Chain A
Amino acid sequence: MDNNAKMQSINLNAWFGTKQALKDINLSIKPNAVTAIIGPSGCGKSTFIRVLNRMHELIPTAKLTGQVLLDGEDIYAKEVDPVMIRRRVGMVFQKPNPFPTMSIYDNVAAGLRLTGAKKGKNLDEVVRRSLEQATLWDEVKDDLRKPGTSISGGQQQRLCIARAIALQPEVILMDEPTSALDPIASAKIEKLVVELKRDYTVAIVTHNMQQASRVSDYTAFLYLGALIEYGSTREIFESPKNPLTEKYITGEFG
């Protein structure tokens, strides 16, 4: 067990029905750092990240063995409530998905309101702080009552990040957060990710290798469901130890 890890998977195997998506993954996510998970399509990186916040099990045929530790405790233990885990481990998705029937303000406050966590909190303040942290406040502060879908794609994604942050999770998972965005919006999100690691632990799945090398401190390379190599981003992108990693990041396949 890695005592320095915020989250850690131990002998993790996952299936969709009979198809095995993850094979014996032992991977640590270090605290207050950005860990990038890279690999070709279908390598299991999205599956892995959804295991971390117990979203994997929402799919009907999903199965899983092994442990996933959050601060040393298994989140898949019998008495653990997945809903509670998801409040501590937030997620931002590939396509921005603000709630269409809610305003910008309501979107950010949604997490607190719908989980009953709003008691004793000043919602205005929480909304403002979250939007500021997501570097969106200045752009929307006069339009908080406008629908969440009335802003641009890049802004919507930052809104989703603000929504996730409002609950003050410990870990933020990001599943290809900039895939659907233009380069400038992507650059803003990347900068935000690097700032977020000050207060949160971030794990980001990306198929863009340059993005992984720009934003992350640690990189894990997955291929066909197995963890091929893990190391500091510098090491991986300068001198990877595994020839398969070398082949992938230099673009020889994938």
Chain B
Amino acid sequence: MPKILNSYRFRRFKNRLFFGICLACVIIAIVPLLSILFEVIARGASQINLHFLTSNVLQGGIGPAIQGTLVIIGLTSVIGIPIGILSGIYLAEYGNNKFASTMRVINNVLTQVPSVIIGITAFGLIIIYVTGTYSPLAGAVALSFMMIPIVARTTEESLKLVPNSIREASLALGVHKWRTTISVVLAAAKSGLITGTLLGVARIAGETAPLLFTILGNSFFFQGFNAPMDALPLRIFLNSRLDAAEAQSAAWGAALILILMVLALNIGVRVASRGRNLSFKVT
């Protein structure tokens, strides 16, 4: 082998080359996020004003979309969070059997199901058989199909992080198991649960496909549980297919609002999970 390939200088060069390639890849990976942010801010920032945020679509605003997104997140949470947390509690505290193992697998699969399939299923199940019309409830149910598995899984994991010694301590005092779970275990896993909930909400906040099938979109503000409703992702989608320049701009504005919301939720998750690792300090 030629001497040059063994020399120290060449080895050093190889090290630096490798490092350089990794660094370049990181930069390439970040570029899409930065370009998204840049593009959305550039095109959407000019749209933001009070009128834009509060008027209905015919007046050139995205008020209904913002309201709708908040409504749908609220409804989904009301359904998804309790069911998700209670499922997570079952899996963590009572789930030492085959049934629970099966449920876990199904749960994990559900997190991977494409959202468009969830949407079309919700359409078939709820809109056709139950409500007969487009409905925010159907939308909430569809989105909860996506939220529940996430909340359940993070709840289970958070509860499993609580050392068994805590449960034993409570049980040894003669506290019933359900009381132990609620007052001791859940309390200890609180920050984990909050993180899980925020994760669930962040996941569904920007979903479009299920909403297409269940709430369709609306130019006006909330019109009851049996009528179509607007939402930010829908508004972006619908507006982007129109030729009018105002519609296009409004879409960009909506996109900015949506991305800010998602960013805020994700940052919220980071902040909430920061406290988590400190709760089981051992002296």
A and B touch in the complex (CB under 8 A): yes
Contacts from A to B (Cβ < 8 Å): 53, 55, 58, 60, 83-88, 90-91, 93, 95, 97-102, 110-111, 114-115, 149, 151-153, 156, 160, 163-164, 167
Which residues from A are CB-within-8-Å of B187? 99, 101-102
Q: Given A149-B283, A152-B283, are A167 and B173 neighbors across the interface (CB < 8 Å)? A: yes
- B166-207 contact mask (Cβ, 8 Å, vs A): 1 or 0: 101111111110011001100110100000000000000000
B46 within 8 A of A: no
B96 within 8 A of A: yes
**A53 CA to B187 CA, complexed, in Å:** 25
**Out of A58, A111, A151, which one reaches B173, CB within 8 Å?**
A111
Contacts from B to A (Cβ < 8 Å): 96, 163, 165-166, 168-176, 179-180, 183-184, 187-188, 190, 279-281, 283
**B-side interface mostly:** helix
Does A99 lie within 8 Å of B171, measured CB to CB? no
Nearest residue, chain A, Cβ from B283: A153
Q: Given A60-B96, A114-B179, are A87 and B166 neighbors across the interface (CB < 8 Å)? A: no
Does B174 lie within 8 Å of A100, measured CB to CB? no
Tally of A-B Cβ pairs under 8 angstroms: 80
Does B173 lie within 8 Å of A86, measured CB to CB? yes
Q: Given A99-B184, A101-B190, are A87 and B173 neighbors across the interface (CB < 8 Å)? A: yes
Does B166 lie within 8 Å of A100, measured CB to CB? yes
Which residues from B are CB-within-8-Å of A149? 281, 283
Nearest residue, chain B, Cβ from A117: B174
Nearest residue, chain B, Cβ from A101: B187
In this complex, the member of A58, A101, A151, A164 whose beta carbon has the largest number of chain B beta carbons within 10 angstroms is: A101
Does B280 lie within 8 Å of A111, measured CB to CB? no
**A163 CA to B280 CA, complexed, in Å:** 19
**Out of B175, B176, B188, which one reaches A100, CB within 8 Å?**
B188
Q: In the assembled complex, how far is the CB of residue B129 from the closest CB belonging to chain A, in whole angstroms?
A: 41
**A230 CA to B8 CA, complexed, in Å:** 73
18 A-B pairs (CB sep. < 8 Å):
A53-B172, A58-B171, A90-B173, A97-B168, A99-B169, A99-B184, A100-B188, A100-B280, A101-B184, A101-B187, A110-B170, A110-B184, A111-B175, A114-B170, A114-B179, A114-B183, A115-B179, A164-B172
